[in-house]
A and B are shown apart, each in its own frame.
Chain A
Amino acid sequence: MNSGAKLRLQERISAFPAMPGNASRVLQVLRDPKASAANIERVVSLDPGLTANILRYANSAFVGLRGKVGSLREAVVHLGLQRLQEMTVAASVNSMMVTEVPGYEVAPGEMWRHAIGVAVGAELLARDQRMASTGDAFTAGLLHDIGKLVAGEWVGEHWQELDTHSTFGHSFDDAERAVLGMDHGQCGADILEHWGLPRGLCAAVRYHHRPDQLPDPEGLTHDERRLVDLVHLADGVALMLGFNDGREGLSYAIHEPVAERLGMDDRKIEAFAARLLVAAEEMIGVVDE
C-alpha cells in the first residue's frame, strides 16, 4: 500500500468543499420538526434553480402525483419533506458531478447519469421492500460515488498498479484499498461525515462495494443496514445497464447474498433493470431540462 497516497487522500477529503450554503440552509429547515410549509417555501424560494427543479420533479411520472403541481407551496405540501430533501441534495451536488472525472476517465455528464441511475434504482428497491424512508435510499444512491471526485487524481497516478491488481482476480475497489489505502466508498463516506449527513447514508456509501463487510451492529437500525444492500444492488444493475463509462468498467463484484436478502432471482433482476432504466431516463430529463 502507498501510505503517502492515503495521507494525501485524507488531506483532500478534509479540504473538500462544503455543501453550497443555500443547500445547507434548506436541509436545516427541512430537518427542523417545527418548520412550517411557509418557512420551507420561503427558504427554498431563495434559490430559483432549486425551485424550478422541485416543480419539474413534482410533475414527473417517477413521483406519480395526480394532477399538475403549479406552485412551490403546492409542491412542498404534496411532495413532503423527504422528497424535498432528495431534490435539495440533488440540486446541490449536480454541478460537482456533471464534469469529467479524471483518473477514472468518466466523460462529462456520465457520473451524474450513473448517480441518478443508482438513486432511482435504490429508491425503487426501497419501495419494493416497503421501507419507511425511501428518500434516504435515493440520496445514498445519488452520493455513493462522490469519493471518486477525490480519489480520481490518485487513480490516474497509479493506474498501472490498479489495473494490474484488478486484472488478477480482484475487484477494482479491492485494488484501490491495496494500492491507495482507501477505496472511493471510504473517501465518499468521509466527505459525507464532514458534511454532517446521517450515519445510515455514510454507511451505505462506505460499504456499497462490500456490503457483507458492514460491521455488526455498527449502531445502525435494520433499515439503515438494508440501505447498504439497496445501493449495492442498484449500483451493480446500473453498471450493467451502461450507466457509467469509467475505464474500470464493470470490475466490481456483485454479492449474491444481497440479491437473496432482497428476494431477487434472474427474472426479477431483469424486470428491475427495465424499471430502473425507464425511471432514470425520465429523472435525468427532469433534472437536465
Chain B
Amino acid sequence: MGESRTAGGRSADPVLVGGMAEAKGTGKRLCTRPLGSGLGVSVFDPELHLGCLLHVVLPTSIADVEAARQNPLLFVDTAVPMLFDRFFSSGGRRARMEVKVCGAAVADGVADLFQIGRRNQRVLHSLLDKNEIQVMAHNLGGTRSRRMELDLTDGSVRLFCGREEVRL
C-alpha cells in the first residue's frame, strides 16, 4: 500500500473511499480521504498498537444490492460488521478496544431527502447499540468535510479540514 501525505504534512497509509485499512505498530498512521456525509470509524487496541480504520459512505445496502455485492464496504450495514471481524481476527480484544467515529456532515438546511449523513449515523448507532459497543469519542455532523487520521502510537485521532486540525 502506498503512502499519502495528510493535511498535517505527515505520511500515512491511505484508506480508500468505501474501504478499510489495518496497521500495527508504534509510529504508523492510517488516513481517510475527505469524509463528507460518510463516516470514518476507527477501532484501536492500545496493548497491541493495532488499529483498523473504515471509510464508509452510504447507510444501507438495500439502496443498491449490486454495488453492495461488488463492494460491501460502501454501506454502513455491511461494512461495520466487517470492520470488527477484521479487528478481532487480527488479535484485537473487545475488552481493550477504543472506538472513535467522525464525519456525517450535512448540507445546509436541506430536506430529509438529502440527509445521508444523519441516516449514516442512525444505522451506525443502531448497529453499535445492538452489539453493546461503546463509542469512546466522536466528531459528527456540521457542514465541514474532514479527513480522519488514526495514529497507532496512542490511538489518537486527528481531523483535518483545510488548514484546521482537531485532535480527538
Contacts and interface: CB of A to CB of B under 8 A. Distances in A.
B67 A275 contact: yes
B108 A253 contact: yes
Contact of B162 (A245, A264, A265, A266): A245
Majority SS of interface residues in chain B? loop
Interface stretch (B35-43, B46-54, B80-88, B126-134): B35-43
B63 A240 contact: no
B105 interface: yes
B162 A254 contact: no
Contact of A266 (B36, B71, B105, B113): B113
Interface in B110-165: 110-114, 116-117, 119, 142-147, 161-164
A239 B145 CA distance: 8
Contact of B114 (A245, A251, A254, A281): A254
Interface size band for A: 35 or more
A169 B109 CA distance: 8
Given A245-B161, A269-B113, A273-B116, A278 B67 contact: yes
B168 interface: no
Interface residues of B, number: 43
Contact of B36 (A166, A240, A251): A240
Nearest to A242: B36
Given A250-B107, A269-B114, A241 B36 contact: yes
A110 B162 CA distance: 11
Contacts of B71: 278
A250 B145 contact: yes
Contact of B17 (A267, A271, A277): A277
Contact of B64 (A110, A256, A274, A281): A274
A236 B112 contact: no
A259 interface: yes
A249 interface: yes
A277 B18 contact: yes
Contact of B117 (A166, A171, A240): A240
A256 to B, nearest CB: 5
B57 A251 contact: no
A181 interface: no
Nearest to B107: A250
Interface string A246-289: 11111111101001000011110111011101100100000000
A169 B143 CA distance: 12
Contacts of A275: 64, 67
Contacts of A171: 108-109
Contacts of B116: 240, 269-270, 273
B67 A274 contact: yes
Nearest to A103: B162
Given A239-B107, A242-B57, A249 B113 contact: no
Given A269-B114, A274-B64, A251 B18 contact: no
B59 interface: yes
B92 interface: no
B108 A240 contact: no
A273 B113 contact: no
Contacts of B164: 247
A281 B73 CA distance: 14
B136 to A, nearest CB: 23
B113 A271 contact: no
B64 A270 contact: yes
